[in-house]
Amino acid sequence: MNIGQAFIQEPMAIFAYLIAIVGIVFMLSTVNIKPIKKFFGYLPPLIWMYFLPMLSTTFGIIPQSSDLYSFMSTYMLPAGLLLLMISTNVPATFKLGGKAVLVFLAGTIGVVVGGPTAFALFQGILPEEAWRGVGALAGSWIGGSANMGAMIEAFHTPDDILSPIILTDTLVGIGWMGVMISFANFQDRFNRWNDADNAQIKKVNEEIATDVQRNAKPLQLPQLFGIIAVGFAGSYLVRLFADLSFIPKSDVMNTSTWTFLIITAVGILLSFTKVRNLEYYGASKIGYLGIYLFLTAIGSQANLMDIVQAPQFILMGMVWLSIHIIFIFAAARLLKAPLFFVAVGSQGNIGGTSSAPIVASVFQPALAPVGLLMGILGNVVGTYAALLCGQLARMIAGG
């Protein structure tokens, strides 16, 4: 259990090991064998991006700390996030209607309120700098792993806080996804009780599916280089700009924070230009590659043995998530929203772009794109809302 030096130490060897995990997991998830498909239906690849590197660190295969992980957070994560942002179909997102967005935002508010509240309740038994972990977990729970990476950088979350936070994210967050999936069997009953209408959901799904099918093009070398250039060169230029002296800096609003804030804004603006056409060649898929590889780096920095020493983080996470659940179900009741909006709104926050489509497809097999849109909306608001959540926790800590 990670005693002594890790078996794999050299950064390139670690990278090869992690990318092999990604490749093997995704290849297995596409195998057309019923038990395997069912297995990955309930335990999707996202979970294994965290868990397998976590196990590898726990058993001493790879180290808990490496220069590779810093490289991924500094360069690979921003590039992936920028590619996701330029792929956003903002107009279609808003066509989901006010209810969808309001239910989602209620879940976001639940996370922002729940984090500092749960932290205040457990502050006495948490480490001194646990508020930095609250900021990191808020990033994951408002938009997913990309936002979590941004907040880890923004709040300088130390390794001894990050490890139990990642475990909390995995155990509590993924556990909630399983509960949401099980709710799919009760959506008709819930919708009748809540007097909710599904018509707008189906209409938007048809529009998005038609757009993608009509414009999808085979990826050619020029477009591939264009996508990589936009992702890496674009994000690097943004980072250079964020590092300029006239940009105000503080402990939290540092170069990394400004980088992700600017990337979010630039990506959304570019999504209204012809740059978004790169999505028809698979820009978001390459963006996901960067995000998933970064996710393995996050998992690599956690050790399962740490949870024995920090069960209070799990308890804090459970209380935090409960507040989110109260907010989002209360909004659904007030707005007479369908359970589908609750599911994708909650996962758009807690799980982000990776798990929201999975939950959406379980509720309505053809509506995975709607889940993706909610996840993207989580990416858009997550950086800003998570910064607020982390700052509130910092105020409670007296930092």
Evaluate whether residue 275 is within a structural domain.
yes
Evaluate whether residue 290 is within a structural domain.
no
Residue in 135, 95, 113, 9 with CA at minimum distance from that of residue 390: 135
Evaluate whether residue 234 is within a structural domain.
yes
Residue 226 backbone phi and psi in degrees, to 5: -60, -45
CB 288 within 8 A of CB 45: no
Residue 388 backbone phi and psi in degrees, to 5: -65, -45
Q: Token pair 């050790």 is at which residue? A: 303
How far CA 292 is from CA of 31, 45, 176, 347, in Å, comes to 20, 10, 21, 17
Q: How far apart are CA 388 and CA 308, in angstroms?
A: 30
Q: How far apart are CA 237 and CA 375, in angstroms?
A: 26
Radius of gyration of the chain (CA): 20
Evaluate whether residue 264 is within a structural domain.
yes
Two structure tokens written together for 244: 């300029």
CB 295 within 8 A of CB 49: yes
Instruction: Provide the domain limits for residue 97.
Output: 73-281+305-397
Residues 6+ apart with CB under 8 A from 167: 54, 302, 304, 306, 307, 313, 314
Q: How far is CA 133 from the centre of its chain?
A: 15
DSSP category for residue 231: I
Evaluate whether residue 10 is within a structural domain.
no
Evaluate whether residue 106 is within a structural domain.
yes
Q: How far apart are CA 185 and CA 148, in angstroms?
A: 31
Q: pLDDT tens digits for the chain (399 residues)?
A: 444 578 899 999 999 999 999 999 989 988 888 888 888 876 777 778 878 998 999 899 999 889 998 888 888 888 888 888 887 777 776 776 778 889 999 999 999 999 999 999 999 888 888 999 999 999 889 877 767 877 888 888 888 888 888 888 878 887 788 788 778 778 888 988 999 887 777 777 677 667 767 888 888 999 999 999 999 999 999 999 988 888 887 655 678 778 877 887 888 899 899 998 898 898 888 887 887 888 788 788 877 777 776 789 999 999 999 999 999 999 999 999 999 999 989 988 987 766 676 687 777 665 655 676 777 778 778 888 999 999 999 999 886
Residue 333 backbone phi and psi in degrees, to 5: -70, -45
Evaluate whether residue 322 is within a structural domain.
yes
Q: What is the pTM of this model?
A: 0.71
* Identity of the amino acid at 298: I
Domain total in the chain: 1
Residue 373 backbone phi and psi in degrees, to 5: -65, -40
Q: Token pair 């940009």 is at which residue? A: 247
Evaluate whether residue 36 is within a structural domain.
no
